[in-house]
């Protein structure tokens, strides 16, 4: 009996000889007052993915949402080849792109409820990275897509290869090459999940408020204008409760003048973030892969933004992850990207769009100079809210006015 128990114990340890690492980004758009606006990614953004990635269909304005879960990838590190199953649930969101294919992203949708929590599931087999046959079956990224960021996630030499056990994709007349192979599981999503981090802007002053379920280990505030940039580090920000007591959960920074070349600032930020991501649990190769995936949009896009590491408890709450067999260790490292619309931009949008005069070429040039990019619809929503707020305040002020009583009014006494 003792030998049987020992054998069972060894089997239990063997079944858990698996380590899993995941990284991803949650992106929101915020006005200067901290409110998070609805925005969407144009079809051209989704088109940047390789053609073999499965898109579920929230690419246009019908996919407008408050938060986008951008490019989570899951790496596997077992001790030996093994079967695994994975389930990811985006709370108050929907899965929009996957690879390999997940049948649950369609079957779990309820059109009567609109956007809702949605699961993506995968089952498959893990092959070692030295398996040349498995490597040769990973789909190639077309030459025209070489500059796109998807391939950077593959530059993790020790990651094992996941082979999906799906033999047929339901509802497709023309089936892709099956089974599907990749060095990770990839997925993205969009929805109305609440990001418990808020930024407030006043000129160059930025205040970050942390209402997440843990401290923020590291962050940066960045401003990019016309090929030049400036940035400042945001050190650890406490959670709103520490040991059951309220704590100072805000950080205030002032962005330096935008007087340095963007290439120089980008290199500094890339190095700082590779170090921060590795310190938060990723391997150096994974940290480099994440930065190389996002460096163009994180560090080079026009605008003002805060990037910050997220606490594990909040990641698990927003995006529960189940893996079988249960890993001996799971690292989940996510970055929150808060794209900010400065007060100056808000006022410029209101002035340009809330005008009775016919637009001129100079108006178009000024609007384009705001560098709103893919956040343009959300920025207009923010400006509309500002204008609506002014109207409501004006109405409130009018309603409080009292008309003078006419002379001879006997009721005045």
User: What DSSP string runs through 89-117?
Assistant: EETTEEEEEEES--THHHHT--TTT-S--
pLDDT for position 170: 76
Is 98 in contact with 186 (CB distance < 8 Å)? yes
Angstrom CA distances, 166 to 53, 108, 161, 188, 377, stand at 15, 17, 15, 20, 38
For the entire predicted model, the pTM comes to 0.88
- Identify the CA nearest to 320 among candidates 98, 123, 72, 75: 72
Angstrom CA distances, 218 to 34, 88, 235, stand at 20, 26, 5
Q: How far apart are CA 162 and CA 82, in angstroms?
A: 10
Q: Between β-strands 161-164 and 181-182, what pairing exists: parallel, antiparallel or unpaired?
A: antiparallel
Hey, what's the torsion of the CAs at 401, 403, 404, 407, to 10 degrees?
Answer: -170
pLDDT for position 39: 87
Residue identified by tokens 């209101």 is: 350
Q: Count Cβ neighbours within 10 Å for each residue of 385-410 and write b for 16 or more, e otherwise.
A: ebeeeeeeeeeeeeeeeeeeeeeeee
Q: How far apart are CA 363 and CA 352, in angstroms?
A: 7
- Identify the CA nearest to 278 among candidates 270, 268, 288, 269: 288
Task: Report the SS3 class of residue 273.
Answer: helix
Tokens of 392: 């409501």
Tokens of 275: 């170090």
pLDDT for position 10: 39
Q: How far apart are CA 91 and CA 257, in angstroms?
A: 39
Q: How far apart are CA 137 and CA 254, in angstroms?
A: 50
pLDDT for position 106: 60
Q: How far apart are CA 348 and CA 366, in angstroms?
A: 9
pLDDT for position 104: 81
pLDDT for position 56: 73
| Interaxial angle between packed helices 262-279 and 284-295, expressed in degrees from 0 to 180 and rounded to the nearest 10 | 140
Walking along the chain (413 residues) 10 residues at a time, the average pLDDT comes out as 40 65 97 90 68 71 78 96 97 90 65 54 97 96 73 97 91 85 95 94 96 96 96 94 78 96 97 98 98 95 96 97 97 97 92 86 88 88 87 86 70 52
């Amino acid at each position: 009996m003792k030998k049987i128990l020992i054998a069972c114990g060894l089997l239990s340890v063997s079944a858990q000889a698996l380590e899993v690492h995941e990284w991803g980004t949650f992106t929101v758009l915020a006005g200067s007052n901290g409110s998070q606006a609805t925005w969407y990614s144009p079809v051209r953004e989704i088109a940047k993915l390789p053609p073999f990635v499965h898109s579920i269909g929230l690419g246009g304005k019908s996919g407008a949402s408050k938060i986008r879960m951008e490019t989570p990838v899951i790496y596997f590190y077992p001790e030996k080849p093994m079967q695994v199953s994975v389930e990811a649930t985006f709370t108050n969101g929907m899965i929009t792109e996957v690879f390999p294919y997940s049948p649950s992203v369609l079957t779990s949708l309820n059109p009567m409820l609109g956007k809702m929590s949605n699961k993506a599931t995968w089952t498959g087999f893990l092959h070692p990275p030295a398996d040349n046959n498995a490597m040769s079956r990973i789909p190639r990224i077309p030459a025209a897509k070489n500059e796109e960021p998807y391939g950077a996630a593959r530059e993790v030499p020790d990651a094992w290869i996941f082979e999906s056990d799906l033999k047929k994709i339901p509802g497709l007349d023309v089936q892709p090459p099956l089974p599907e192979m990749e060095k990770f599981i990839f997925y993205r999503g969009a929805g109305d999940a609440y990001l418990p981090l808020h930024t407030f802007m006043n000129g160059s002053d930025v205040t970050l408020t942390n209402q997440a379920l843990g401290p923020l280990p590291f962050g940066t505030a960045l401003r990019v204008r016309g090929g030049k940039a400036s940035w400042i580090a945001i050190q650890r920000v406490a959670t709103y409760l520490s040991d059951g007591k309220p704590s100072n959960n805000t950080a205030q920074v002032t962005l330096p003048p935008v007087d340095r070349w963007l290439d120089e600032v980008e290199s500094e930020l890339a190095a700082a973030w590779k170090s921060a991501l590795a310190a938060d649990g990723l391997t150096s190769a994974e940290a480099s892969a994440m930065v190389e995936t996002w460096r163009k949009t994180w560090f080079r896009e026009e605008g003002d933004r805060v990037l910050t590491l997220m606490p594990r408890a909040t990641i698990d709450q927003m995006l529960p992850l189940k893996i079988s067999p249960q890993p001996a260790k799971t690292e989940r490292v996510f970055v929150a990207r808060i794209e900010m619309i400065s007060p100056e931009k808000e006022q410029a949008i209101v002035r340009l769009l809330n005008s009775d005069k016919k637009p001129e070429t100079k108006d178009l040039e000024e609007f384009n100079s705001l560098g709103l990019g893919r956040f343009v619809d959300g920025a207009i929503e923010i400006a509309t809210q500002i204008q609506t707020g002014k109207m409501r305040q004006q109405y409130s002020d009018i309603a409080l006015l009292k008309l003078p009583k006419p002379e001879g009014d006997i009721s005045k006494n």
